[in-house]
Structure 1
Amino acid sequence: MNHRNLLQALLLTIGTYTGIGSAQEIKLELNKMEPQPETKACRAYLVFDNSAGAAIEALQLDLILFDRTGVIARRLAVDTAPLRAAKTTVKLFDIPDLDCNDVGRILINEVLECRDADGAHADCIERLTLSTRAETQLVK
Structure 2
Amino acid sequence: MNEKHRHWRVSVETSGEQIVAIEPEMLAGREISEADEDAIRTAAHHLLAFIGDPAPQPNLEVHPDDRAVDRFASAMKAKLAQKRDEGRSGWNDKEDCSQLFLSQLLREHVEKGDPIDVGNFAMMLHQREERIASLLETLQGE
Bin of the TM-score, shorter chain as denominator length: under 0.3
For normalisation by structure 1, the TM-score amounts to 0.24
* Higher Cα Rg, which structure: 2
Identify the structure with the greater helix proportion.
2
For normalisation by structure 2, the TM-score amounts to 0.24
Identify the structure with the greater strand proportion.
1
